[in-house]
Structure 1
Amino acid sequence: MSININQNPEQIARDRIDKMLVHSGWLVQSKNEIDLFAGKGVAVREYQTDVGPADYVLFVDKKPVGIIEAKREDEGHRFTVVEEQSSKYANAKLKYLNNDPLPFVYESTGTITRFTDYRDPKPRGRAVFWFHKPETIAEWLKKEKSLRARLRSMPALDETGLRPAQIVAINNLEHSFKKNRPKALIQMATGAGKTFTAATFVYRLLKHADAKRILFLVDTKNLGEQAEQEFMTFQPNDDNRKFTELYNVQRLTSSYIATDSQVSISTIQRLYSILKGEELEESAEQDNPNESSWLKSKMSEKKAIPVEYTPRVPIEQFDFIVIDEAHRSIYNLWKQVLDYFDAFLIGLTATPDKRTFGFFNENVVSQYTYEESVTDGVNVPYDVYTIETEISQKGETVKAGWFVDRRDKLTRKKRWQQEDEDTEYKRNDLDKKVVNPSQIRNIIREYKRALKTTIFPNRSDENGDYEVPKTLVFAKTDSHADDIIKIIREEFDEGNDFCKKVTYKIEEDPKSVLNRFRNSYHPRIAVTVDMIATGTDVKPLEVLLFMRDVKSVNYFEQMKGRGTRTINKDSLQLVSRTANSKTHFVIVDAVGATKSKKTDSRPLERQPSVAMKDLLGAITMGVAEEDLFLSLANRLIRLEKQITDKEKDKILELSKGKNLKQITKELITAFDQDAINEKAQTKIDKIPIEDRTPTRVEETKKKAQEELINEASKTFNGEFNDYLENVRKIHEQIIDHVNIDTVTKSEWDTNSVDKAKAVIKDFNAYLEANKDEIKALSIFYNQPYNRREITFKMIKEVMEKMKLEKPLLAPDYVWDAYSQIEEVKSKQPKDELTALVSLIRRACGIDSKLVAFDKTIDENFKNWIFKQNAGKHNRFNKEQMQWLRMIKDHIVSSYHIEIDDLDYTPFDNQGGRGKMYQLFGNDMEIVIDELNKVLVA
């Protein structure tokens, strides 16, 4: 609808409101032409009431249901005052009708609209993008209570099968709903069951609050598929059917949203494209939006076109929106999707930052940290193993006169040339400016050695072949990943299946490779850049090898989260046969990632897959988008560090005196709100006070930003752009095959050693605290002479109590802690109860060093036999020795033997107690008693 610029502001607002009403399915009629039979929803202008004419009265199925109070655009800031006026009309009597108060009340300028449902407990106005459809209001009226009233009467949560943190999150979230808080944030550690928590409260909202439809919003296709699987397997406590048998779940793969689906799963990219009426490119859902190549298409627009009202997806389409990984996909372009819907917003994230807290109005209903999840046994802890090499730390120099390969970063095409000058490279230049294969090789070679000797030493099979734990390597770039994979296969002497790349750029189906990595024996090692850095479960992972640094604290925490998942012993051994249990994971830090300074500020790069020449061209042609300006600024920051003094002089000449730092600053300042406000304020101060209307102030700010954008843009032109692009292109990678690297450090990180000491201290303290309560511990500490009486059942009691009260103190983990702080020569026993006995003996001082209890028994048995034979030539015959060894083996697994045990396996197959008596006569009980005493000494 075109708007006449000569119209007064009130009429302009009315015209906009008419347009909005028509688009959302209302028939707009004047008070003199009323026909309530004309349609389901009728909006009558200037309808007379007993307190004066209401701007609009809304009728549904011929009954009055609500009013709209129309205001000029410059009165939008006064809406909280206007509410009193609109409420007066809502409670008035309409001409000809003896109506009750009208429940649905809007205030609108046609640009800003607020809505109050007076059926709500403590009715509170809220901003809405558009008007609700008449069909929606008809549905609302059929229900006895409003949604917000229904939320107040939800039954208590059945806590069966839920972890304490999940119970807290759901109860607090529902309390937030009862308070009518529009946004809520659940912070829950990676691996603590965020999606299961979401499935639980989604089920309750559908069943007990009669929610119409709920949106589960993700930012990658991968996360959407995982969420769909979670809903498919979820079974509520109060029903023996699966969630998907009770409610329809639809994962959106097109623009069609099924009318009969109660849960819709969608990427935020897809929903944005649906609201814009655009087709979505297949690649759009692969990476999270801040890294997506799809943003390239936005560059053809002069500015980010805002979302517009879409009748087939009205604002009331969803009652609740659950935003997974809410720390990264709720800003800028994507925020419009969330602003569009009239819905409660629930954020899920393990790693919120300041912006996340701000977006959710600081309404954090639940905080469950990684440290808490480890203490509760929900996640596993980690240790850090550091590998450093000479070149990784200090860099090197490619000398003039050397013949070296130069490789194109993108095509990998090589050319051979003799260097005409020295090229010095630092640690940060590695795998960018220079690739040193020896540096990569020495890290991988040392990783292989440390795995076998220190990190996971007990992983050899019955043939003595070492089994590499499932390892994920984080590479800097796609070409870096290729270099790493080639060297891993060579150093481990393995084929293609052993080590695979998992990125969207591989020729194989990445999902298939990822599933094999997760569920099959091969690959043992996967190398990725970003695809499985966040949000992807690979439970059997035991090592994360960092060969790239990460500056974002959130991103680093997400990457660490890949290793935190727990997995039961049987599932782990399906893919890692020699693993006993997953008690922890190890970060192998080859680049100082665990020590480098981290920031929670947003990354500048928003368009990483867009060619720099396209960024330059778009700005030259007048495209003014924040993403575009910040992306180019980031490229120029990097370029400024690479170029020579001669190249810097040429840039000054072509840019009319601006260096790259100044150009970069102008690009960033153009969208810096503080800079815009500062520039605008100087103009606002010149406006007479009586003319400083909100509209005038906003126009002044808009003009100030336009000036900053123009100042930043005018530097760019064809000649300047070509020079920048050519300067960037000539920076190929030098392949330094000449300088050979050496490992300078390979050890547990000092923090890991401190953590190991703390684990041992905690273990000792727990045993000490329980030594009088648990019988086995009481004997170890207080009655060492009675150790022969300790039975399998007693040790199992210790184990079960520890698992319940101190899940972190698993024998595997405590054993590894001892291995970090003292020389442990014997291998950890395969049986965790045997390992526990070994640890208890070490803790209470029976053994001065940690020794495997089965080896102690073996040693004590040898010594006992030797003493028995001393002075007597072979006291025991061959058959008697066979029985003595069977008794020894029984004590290894059961810690004690009774006469009655001779009636069971393996003794019964050899003739049982009768046979032993036949062999040992009256010495039988003496031998058994002596072995019970001697072997556990």
Structure 2
Amino acid sequence: MNQNPEQQVRDRIDEMLRRAGWFVQSKKDIDFSVGIGMAIREYPTSVGPVDYMLFVNQKPLGVIEAKKEDEGYRLTTVEEQSTDYANAEIKFFKNTEGLKYVYESTGVITRFTDYTDPKPRGRELFYFHKPETLLEWSKKEKSLRDRFFDYPVLDETGLRPAQIIAINNLEKSFKGNRPKALIQMATGAGKTFTAATFIYRLLKFAKAKRILFLVDTKNLGEQAEQEFRAYQPQDDNRKFTELYNVQRLTSSYIADESQVCISTIQRMYSILRGEEMAEDEDELNPNENSSWMSNQLTKKEAVPVEYNPKVPIEQFDFIIVDECHRSIYNLWKQVLDYYDAFLVGLTATPDKRTFGFFNQNVVSEYTYENSVIDGVNVPYDVYLIETEISTRGGLIEKGWFVDKRDKLSRAKRWEQQDEDTEYFRNDLDKKVVSPNQIRTVIKAYKDALEKEIFPKRIDENGEYEVPKTLVFAKTDSHADDIINIIREVFDEGNDFCKKVTYKNDEKPKTVLNNFRNRYNPRIAVTVDMIATGTDVKPLEVLLFMRDVRSTNYFEQMKGRGTRTISSDKLKLVTKTADSKTHFVIVDAVGATKSKKTDSRPLERKPSIPLKDLLQAVTMGVKEEDVFLSLANRLIRLEKQLTDSEKEKIEELAKGKSLKQMTRELIEAFDNDIIADKAKEIIERIPVDERTPEKQEQAKIEAQEELLKTASLTFNGKLNDYIDNVRKQHDQIIDHINTDEVIKSEWDTESVDKAKILINDFSEYLKANIDEIQALSIFYNQSYNRRDITFKMIKELMDKIKVEKPIFAPSNIWNAYASIEEVKGDCPKDELTTLVSLIRKVCGIDEELKPFDKTIDENFKKWIFAQNAGQHNRFSTEQMEWLRMIKDHIVSSYHIELDDLDYTPFDSKGGRGKMYQLFGNEMDSIINELNEALAA
């Protein structure tokens, strides 16, 4: 016998309550002895019986108003009705303040309002709260949302301005009861430190019970754990982990005493599913872990998340999602939807989806450009390399014998070309591999390094020291080709260049740590493992040998080079480097010029094997990412097949071509196509019966039809043929065509950026002439340059560091070096560099040259002038004192008589000794040197 809709809803709600730990009873069968949480049906109140009265320890704490499933859209309109029940007189109980916990539910959609909040606002829940939770909340003086208003003012000590803004705005968002917030913060700007700061405040002042820090790789989880271990708040001399329990999840066990849990999102998904996951399974980004993801896709029952009694929805008060631009969609979104928690996203590169997911509540926008201006990150220059083959492709004429190589096994065979094979730039390292093209690029890179990019990196043995370089390759096979050629071109061994990808035989973590902290490898080649979220501060060059069309991903890849590092730490791995003032993008594929898009790529599962995508669709998996990824693979495959191969596929696909199959896969998730099909269904229904519910149901039916049409095409024989025919296409190894460099130069945009930087620096100096005494003298009182002191220059340097970190003297020096001839290297002392730059900007020096060298030259001129007409005016001992004075002016820009009483003069007899040597000429010689050397 069919139940009526109301009873079906009651049955679903009963089951939900039982699974959440409530005992459901009728008002005639009340027995409080069975447990602490009771949901009593039809309990009487002064405004009528309420659908469910929630008792905890025999005290009424809340109510549930049940509605039919097709009234889910009306739940917000019945809040007043459920609130009336909560405020009504309750039989046997005084209810002077009203019940505080109010739910409305259809058994499918559930909403909840906590009337202890400052401005009570309903929110949708995945499930009901446990009775123990309502009991715990009821005992607290204030609700979580009310406790936000007890926050003290943020102590800004040790925080950067961008971090201060992010934390203050986030806490303002919490006070406004906004469920989602997004922090956009440039790579290297301290996202995790910012998170540790506001998490500490949430635990201490908001009394948050437990917080989840969510990542998508084990590596990022370990980095986060180290950040929390190192973090020490300003108002306590103990470390974070001494104050609060931090647990990085390596199994499904979540300790009751844990206050911060760090976990990969795939582990949390497994925990919700009640499945155990091995520790090494979250080594990899789930979007790149083909074996794990394939396993999930091919099990239809594994995709949806259901309520797990061991994991209540209120387990976490807050969820912080690191790298949220890639961790909040599709399968993983279910983890975030499950919990009744505030969501905070952290990312350097949000896209439109990210903004949408977080309700456009962006509490911090701190871009890479902002971070460079503030001196948090370093800027970059672009160096372009173009070769004949990488630009125009090549031709292998028929009759030539060529190697053909299996893409996976790399096994080769020798074969004669029976027809001309023309290939283009997009075919490189896919259909055709040109070792000569790779070699030409690497040779051009080596030459550019030594002559233009970092030309002064010569070690004590006279050998060039290659800066830490990260190469982005297209595929693992491409990476192998690059590595072999790099070792050959640089005449180095295996340790010099290593591959860092998930398919590496060596442990990727070991290679990555060595790349970060040790001298070798100097060059690392990766496909995508360290494109995002991995910190390698000593990196000074990114070599792009693959293009990327996603703006988001490209910015993440660039972010690997932006990190600052102290000079001492940089020298530990690169001995000849003075400091990291910038990094260089070497673009060998036009990556910096190609059109980028914020839209989502069609390929959603780039590392899932084609056979697994085919199997998933065949088995009825209806996930959008799977359908669109398979469509993308078939589009690419169609361009590679012969006519006979296409005919065979059409035969196995029941008359459908690859193009038709692809179109059906895409249309199954095309909202316009779904709407058109739904319209056809609606038109078959009488006009007076076309309710909103029927229209919504028509959309569901329309998509189901499209999904079914697309998926039923695929079968075992077709899948096997598609998978095997793809593998038959070997790569041609083109050893025939030689390659040559057609461009190896700085990008004109980098030159333009350098000119803008120099102009901005010049304008800044002019704007501060009246405020800084040294500038006033340089610009307006050249006759007083002899009076410029160390203190004056230091004052200007301190002002620049606070107001314009991007005007760091080394940055401006490098900008000049990129656009004109510069005499000598950048001085190691930043004040000396600053004086050199001021002299150039003011026009004192026509060419930029180190001021210490200028002093040396001026000293020689002065001595020559003193000796003119007479033979050696000064004795050997007098010359020793004059050189000491010169060296003092090099470091202090000026000398006073009082300086003779200090190092190094005091050890030579000080002021008295100089008077003994020079007599009454002492004062005039000091004045002459001050004037002559500063000329």
TM-score tier by shorter-chain length is over 0.9
Counterpart residue number, 2:162:
165
Deviation readout 1:832-873 (Å, 9 max, x if unpaired) = 222111111100001111112222222223333334444444
Is the CA contact (8 Å cut-off) linking 1:303 and 1:624 kept in structure 2? Answer: no
1:876 shift after superposition: 4.3
Q: How does 1:562-581 map to 2 (within 5 A)?
A: 562-581=560-579
The one-letter amino acid of 2:522's match is: R
Amino acid in the other structure paired with 1:707: E
Structure 2 residue 13 is the aligned partner of structure 1 residue 20: no
C-alpha displacement of 1:672: 2.4
Which is worse superposed, 205-214 or 396-405? 396-405
C-alpha deviation, 1:879, in angstroms: 4.5
1:273 and 2:237 matched:
no
Tell me if structure 2 keeps the 8 A contact 1:41–1:134.
yes
State the SS of the aligned residue for 1:291: coil
Q: 1:905 to 1:524 in 2, by over 3 A?
A: farther
**Map of 1:782-821 to 2, 5 A cutoff?**
782-821=780-819
TM-aligned CA distance change 1:719 to 1:137, over 3 Å: closer
Match 1:832 to one of 830, 833, 852:
830
CA distance in 1, matches of 2:720, 2:539: 46
Partner of 2:255: 258
Q: Contact conserved, 2:519 with 2:574, CA < 8 A, in 1?
A: yes
Matching residue of 2:432: 434
Aligned mates of 1:175, 1:309 — CA distance in 2: 32
1:225 maps to 2:216 = no
Residues 29, 42 of structure 1: 8 Å contact kept: yes
Q: Aligned equivalents of 2:906 and 2:498: distance in 1?
A: 52
- Alignment partner, residue 10 of structure 1: 6
Distance in 2 separating the partners of 1:656 and 1:521: 60
Quote the Cα distance in structure 2 between the aligned partners of 1:106 and 1:561.
Answer: 46
Q: Which residue of 1 aligns with 2:931?
A: 933
Give aligned pairs, total: 933
Equivalent-residue separation in structure 1 for 2:395 and 2:347 (angstroms) = 44
Q: Structure 1 residues 542-551 or 839-848, which shifts more?
A: 542-551
The more displaced of 11-20 and 736-745 is 736-745
Q: Distance in 1 between matches of 2:930 and 2:415?
A: 76
Q: Which SS does the other structure have where 1:114 is aligned?
A: strand
Paired residue secondary structure (1:642): coil
Q: Percentage identity across aligned positions?
A: 74
Find the partner of 2:206 among 198, 205, 209: 209
Does the alignment pair 1:671 with 2:669?
A: yes
Amino acid at match of 2:556: Q
Cα offset, 1:228, TM superposition = 1.0
Aligned to 1:56: 52
Would you say the 8 A contact 2:9–2:69 is kept in 1? yes
Please give the per-residue CA displacement for 1:284-340, whole angstroms capped at 9, x wherever unaligned. 423333333121002322366311111111000011111111111111111111111
Unaligned 5+ segments in structure 1 are: none
Q: Following the alignment from structure 2 to structure 1, what is the Cα–Cα distance between the partners of residues 82 and 322?
A: 38
Match of 1:894 in 2: 892
Q: Is the 2:442–2:486 contact (alpha carbons within 8 Å) kept by the matching residues of 1?
A: yes
Q: Is the 8 A contact 1:327 1:353 kept in 2?
A: yes
Task: Give the Cα–Cα distance (whole angstroms) in 1 for the partners of residues 650 and 2 of structure 2.
Answer: 49
CA 351–770 in structure 1, closer or farther in 2 if over 3 Å, else same? same
1:236 aligns with 2:233: yes
Match of 1:29 in 2: 25
- Asked if 2 retains the 8 angstrom alpha-carbon contact of 1:452 and 1:458, the reply is yes
1:480-491 matched pairs, under 5 angstroms: 480-491=478-489
- Taking the aligned partners of 2:574 and 2:451, their CA distance within structure 1 comes to 18
Q: Which residue among 470, 475, 482 is the counterpart of 1:472?
A: 470
Counterpart in 1 of 2:34? Answer: 38
Deviation, 1:645, is: 4.3
The reply on whether 1:93 has 2:111 as its aligned counterpart is no
Task: For residue 88 of structure 1, report the CA deviation from its aligned partner.
Answer: 1.3
Matching residue of 1:733:
731
Task: Render the CA deviation track for 1:465-504: whole Å, top value 9, x for unaligned.
Answer: 3322222111111121222222222222233222222222
Do 2:668 and 2:703's aligned partners in 1 also have CA atoms closer than 8 Å?
yes
What's 2:690 paired with? Answer: 692
Alignment of 1:110-129 (within 5 A): 110-129=107-126
Q: 1:454 aligns with which of 445, 452, 459?
A: 452
In 2, the alpha carbon distance for the partners of 1:16 and 1:380 equals 57
TM-score, length-normalised on structure 1? 0.96
Deviation at 1:907, TM superposition (A): 4.0
Partners of 1:913 and 1:119 in 2: how far apart?
A: 80
Q: Aligned equivalents of 1:906 and 1:440: distance in 2?
A: 57
Choose which of 145, 151, 155 in structure 2 pairs with 1:154. Answer: 151
Q: What is the Cα deviation at residue 918 of structure 1?
A: 5.1
Partner Cα separation in structure 1 for residue 459 and residue 883 of structure 2: 24
Counterparts of 1:300 and 1:752, CA distance in 2: 49
* AA partner of residue 413 (structure 1): A
How big is the shift at 1:711? 2.1
Contact map agreement 2:777 2:785 (CA 8 A) in 1 = yes
Contact persistence 1:214–1:320 (CA under 8 A):
yes
User: Could you tell me how far apart the structure 2 residues matched to 1:41 and 1:374 are?
Assistant: 56
In 2, the alpha carbon distance for the partners of 1:879 and 1:445 equals 54
Supply the RMSD in Å over aligned alpha carbons. Answer: 2.1
Cα deviation, residue 527, structure 1: 1.5
Q: Which amino acid in structure 2 is aligned with residue 59 of structure 1?
A: F
Following superposition, the deviation at residue 719 of structure 1 comes to: 4.0
> In structure 2, what is the Cα distance between the partners aligned to 1:138 and 1:43?
14
What is the 5 A alignment of 1:505-654?
A: 505-654=503-652
User: 2:251, 2:278 within 8 Å by CA — same for their partners in 1?
Assistant: no
CA contact (8 A) 1:684 1:697 kept: yes
Does residue 756 (structure 1) correspond to residue 742 (structure 2)? The answer is no
Give the distance between the partners of 1:611 and 1:208, measured in 2 at CA: 49
Paired residues for 1:308-457 under 5 Å: 308-457=306-455
Which amino acid in 1 is paired with 2:838? I
> Using the alignment, how far apart are the partners of 2:724 and 2:352 within structure 1?
39
Aligned equivalents of 2:799 and 2:860: distance in 1? 34
Deviation at 1:12, TM superposition (A): 0.9
Residue 723 of structure 2 aligns to which amino acid in structure 1?
A: E
Counterparts of 1:446 and 1:909, CA distance in 2: 54
Structure-1 residue corresponding to 2:191: 194
Greater CA deviation, 435-444 or 638-647? 638-647
Distance 1:349 1:256 in 2: 28
Maintained 8 Å contact 2:169/2:364: yes
1:69 partnered with 2:65: yes
Tell me, in whole angstroms, the C-alpha distance in 2 between the residues paired with 1:670 and 1:172.
Answer: 41
Of 150, 157, 181, the residue aligned with 1:184 is 181
